[in-house]
Amino acid sequence: MVDTGDEMLTGNCERCEWYVVKDSYPALVKAYQQHLRGKHPTLWLRR
């Protein structure tokens, strides 16, 4: 199998309807962390 680099990764939030499609794992994690900070700040700040 040849890696064409065209694979997309998807993510969603278990707490709401948020959904994202990104082309790399770091971009996916960054988008999710930004979502948590913006929409679920108490979860973001949880220790």
Token digits for 37? 């900070």
pTM of the model: 0.75
Assign 43 a pLDDT band (cuts: 50, 70, 90): confident
Q: What digits encode the pLDDT tens for the residues 8-32?
A: 999 999 999 999 999 999 999 999 9
Q: If you search the block for the tokens 């996916």, which residue do you land on?
A: 28
Indicate if the pLDDT at residue 1 is higher than 70: no
Query: Tell me, what's the pLDDT at 45?
Result: 75
18, 31 contact by CB (below 8 A): no
